[in-house]
Structures are given as structure tokens and as C-alpha cells.
Amino acid sequence: MKTAVAAILAFTKWTLPEPPISFNVNASVVLTMSAVFNFTFVPWFRSVAPYIHSHRGKTFVIGLTGEAIAAGKLSLIAQDLALIQSMGVKIVLIYGFRPQVNEQLRAKGQEPKYCNGIRITDELALDCAQEAAGQLLYEVEAAFSMGLPNTPMAGATVRMISGNFITARPVGIVDGVDFKSTGMVRKVDVLSINHALDFGAMVLISPFGFSPTGEAFNLSMEDVATRVASELQADKLIFLTEVPGIRQDPLAPESEDNPIDTELPLAAAEKLLRELPPAYQPTDIGFYLKHCVEACKAGVERSHILPFSVDGALLLEVYVHDGIGTMLVDEKLEELREATADDVGGILQLIEPFEQEGALVKRSRTEIERDIEHFTVIEHDGVIFACALLTPYPEAQTAEMAALTVSPQSQGTGDGEKILKRIEQRARAQGLKSIFVLTTRAMHWFIKRGFQVMDPDWLPDARKRKYNWDRKSQVLVKKL
């Protein structure tokens, strides 16, 4: 009992009081657990439900670096991948073995050889690569076979299928450099991979390929993952890497003033690659970015760069709104638009908590359905994160902005200002001269954005008749 309560409190960033409380099963402990679950776990689980629904049946290609395995992260990553698969996601896992091969080469008295970031695979390096691939294949399969009680793998049955899904060809001689047994992907056996995924298995692919004549070639994990994701037309390509993602100023030092850019449009990523020096090392800014760009241009909807050093990075990126790394998309996933009838349920779900606490006037489903064409929403990945209602009063050349709501997950990201600007644009398009709001709690937010406090008598007659004098809402007006 003590362990369970301590774990729950740790999850919610609570600390146990000193001296330690008695962990006998009593009313206070039950109430503590109930409070934790009610106010943390339940809302959190509800918030991730839309992502669980939207990802079910989708295909994710995961590129796992050898550095992550060398850092001892394989067990936790396997647990997270098994959990994601249990929620209906089809997973193809490609693992790398760059540091493992280098370690074996040095143990045999040879330094790794590279040219422009590409390994030169001589006979010894090929032997080391084959040995590393076999060892890691064993370790990965073992990690997904664990079913210890009291772990996320308890009761999990993860079928893994690996095989010669990749046909390769040699890199050859480039600018006078013979890359020997280093290869490139010639063909991906899409049909066989899809059959395995449809069977419910997780597909495991090593960065090894074979030519039609049976020659073995050492491939780059990043190239294999990119080609596999492109050929499968996967929904996501995710790299678990040494780097945390792409910072808003990629060339500036890491700091709080230079956070990770969580969503990068394809056009901006291509522009950034043109400005950066050539990327040859995995720690170079553009190393993984160029593969993400290639995948997006080939039809992969979203490509991600995540830090394997953060425990649960996969879960945070896939099931949390802002994620943790950088997501590359062909266009912005966040869409600011006018609402449709399909958005009624999402708007109701968004505004209901604020209505219950008294911050918003309660609106019924019927009222929202009636006024739906006057709502503006911000949608991200099929979830409504912000909304506002514009009700015009043409006779007074003004309009009311009501039900301005931003999800707690999005607050502080500027969504409120985006909605306000769109509402102002809609009002101007109707030839109106001002907009007004009635608020009991957000007066200062509106004043900072150009609104002025007015007497309720200023209101248009039609709105004044519906003014709730008991609520004592402040009237704020902004000229357009």
C-alpha cells in the first residue's frame, strides 16, 4: 500500500510529509488516493483519449539509435512501444548500432572510418556490424518478451517479426572513395511488412540489406527508417536521438530563452537546411532534420525528433498536445477556422468546465447548434483547443464576443490572441465599428488588448434587455 500511494504522489509532484505518515489502510489514505486520482489521473486520462482514438490503426516507424541502447534506455522504450501498440498503433522498429560497431572495431585495434558521415565498411567493419546486429536483435527481442509483474509489460504479448525486408545496393565509389560494403536501400518489401502488421505483430528491421546475389551491406539506420516510412506511407516517422529537437534559434546556445520548436513546417525546415552547414554527425543540427524533410516530401504526414534521454519521450510526444521534441509537418496542424456542425461536441466539452466554475454563462447544446456558424475555433489534431462566439448587432454597428475559451493545455501559447484577431477580422468584414465583451474575471486581459471599460447602458438595446444585473459583468469595448 505504501509503495502505491508514494508512486501516485510522486506522479503528481506531491511530496510525502515528514515524519512519514502511517500507511495503514485507513480513511485518510483512501481519501488521499481518491483526491490524487480525481484531480490528476482522471482529467489527464480524459485529455489523452482523443489522441488514443486518432492514432488507432495508424502506422508509426520508429528509428532507435544505437546510442539509446548503449545508454541503457532499451527496456523503458520497449515498455512504451508495447503500450502504444496495445492502443492499436502499428509499429515498425528500426534499430541502429553505430556505437556498438565502433566499440568492436576499437577492441580489435581499428578506428572507425567515415567519409562525409558515411561509414566505410571494410571486411573487418562488416564482421563487426554483423556481430553487433545479431547481438542487438537478441537484446531487443528479449526486452519485448519481458512480462514481470508490477511493470508496464505485465500481461503484454508482443509478437515480433523480423526478416530480410530490405533489398540493398552498394554505395560504390564516390569522389574516389570506395565505401566497400556500405550500402543504400534499393527496395522495401512493403507487402510483407504490411502483412506482418495486419497480423498484429511489431516489425523489427536491422540496418542490414542484401543484394539479389546474396551480398550483405551495412546500411544507415536513418536511411532505412526514412525509406521504410516513405514506402509504407506511414503516419509518423519518429527518431529517438541524442539531440532534444530543433531549437527556435538552432545556432544559439541552449537556454530557456531558446526553447525547442515543437512544430516546424516543411518549408521552414527546408530553408533551415539550406542555411546550416552540411550535417555529417548525429549530433549535428541538420543530421536528423534532413531525413525528416525527405520523409515528409515523400508523403509521411509527420516526422519527429525526440531525445531518448527523457524518460517517456515517446508517450509525451504522441499523447500530449505540445509534445516534447520537434515535429515536422507539411503544413501547420493547428488550424484557426470558422466552426461547423461537427464542432458542437468539441465546443461543449471545451467550455463545460468554465461554465461549471462560473467563468462563462451556461449554453445548451441547442444554443450552440443554433449559433455554430458564428463560432471561431482553433483545432489541433482533431481536438478543439480554443473557441469564441461573435454575435452581431448590425443596428448598433457592433458585435459581442462571447464564450472566449482556451483549453488549460493551451493557455499561455497565444491561442487567445489568435482567436481575438480572427473575431476582429470577422467583425470588420461585416462592416462593424466595434466589438464588446462581458466578463467577470478577465477584465485586465482585455484591457491589455485595447478594450475600454464602459457602463452597461452603452450596450445595444437588444443586448441590454438580456443583461444580467445580478451577475454584474464588466462591459469592455474595443473600436475596430
Q: Which helix (H) or strand (E) holds 74?
A: helix 74-86
What pLDDT does residue 36 have?
Answer: 54
Q: Strand 263-265 to strand 302-307: parallel, antiparallel, or no bridges (unpaired)? A: unpaired
Q: Within this chain, do residues 168 and 84 fall inside the same structural domain, yes or no?
A: yes
**Distance (Å) of CA 215 to CA 150, 208, 387:** 45, 10, 59
Q: Which helix (H) or strand (E) holds 55?
A: helix 42-55
Q: Within this chain, do residues 231 and 99 fall inside the same structural domain, yes or no?
A: yes
Q: Within this chain, do residues 322 and 424 fall inside the same structural domain, yes or no?
A: no
**Nearest Cα to Cα of residue 301 among 292, 314, 310:** 292
What pLDDT does residue 166 have?
Answer: 96
**Nearest Cα to Cα of residue 272 among 247, 243, 240, 299:** 247
Q: Which residues of 262-277 are buried (b: 16+ CB within 10 A; e: fewer)?
A: bbbebeebeebbeebe
Residue 366 is placed in which grid cell? 441547442
Q: Within this chain, do residues 397 and 467 fall inside the same structural domain, yes or no?
A: yes
For the chain, how are helix, strand and coil distributed in percent, rounded to 5? Answer: 40, 25, 35
- One digit per residue, the tens of pLDDT, for the chain of length 480 reads 344 444 434 444 333 334 343 444 455 554 555 555 566 778 888 888 888 988 999 999 999 999 999 999 999 999 999 999 999 999 999 999 999 999 999 999 999 999 999 999 999 999 999 999 999 999 999 998 876 566 666 677 788 999 889 999 999 999 999 999 999 999 999 999 999 999 999 999 999 999 998 899 999 999 999 999 999 999 999 999 999 999 888 877 777 778 888 888 888 899 999 999 888 899 898 999 999 999 999 989 899 999 999 999 999 999 987 789 999 987 656 678 999 999 999 999 999 999 998 888 899 999 999 999 999 999 887 789 999 999 999 999 999 999 999 998 777 778 898 899 999 999 998 999 999 999 988 899 999 999 999 999 999 999 999 998 888 899 999 998
Q: Within this chain, do residues 141 and 48 fall inside the same structural domain, yes or no?
A: no
Q: Within this chain, do residues 189 and 318 fall inside the same structural domain, yes or no?
A: yes
> φ, ψ for residue 237 (rounded to 5)?
-120, 120
Domain boundary pick from 285, 312, 329:
329
Q: Within this chain, do residues 444 and 475 fall inside the same structural domain, yes or no?
A: yes
Q: Within this chain, do residues 317 and 407 fall inside the same structural domain, yes or no?
A: no
What pLDDT does residue 2 have?
Answer: 40
Would you give the DSSP letter of residue 255? B
What pLDDT does residue 434 have?
Answer: 95
Q: Within this chain, do residues 200 and 300 fall inside the same structural domain, yes or no?
A: yes
What CATH number corresponds to the domain at position 211?
3.40.1160.10
Domain boundary pick from 310, 329, 348:
329
What pLDDT does residue 32 have?
Answer: 57
What CATH number corresponds to the domain at position 449?
3.40.630.30
Would you give the DSSP letter of residue 254? P
Domain with 394, as residue range(s), is: 334-479
**Nearest Cα to Cα of residue 237 among 54, 56, 380, 59:** 59
Domain count across the chain: 3
Domain boundary pick from 329, 350, 372:
329
> Coil, helix or strand for 378?
strand
Q: Within this chain, do residues 46 and 61 fall inside the same structural domain, yes or no?
A: no
Q: Within this chain, do residues 60 and 37 fall inside the same structural domain, yes or no?
A: no
Q: Within this chain, do residues 85 and 129 fall inside the same structural domain, yes or no?
A: yes
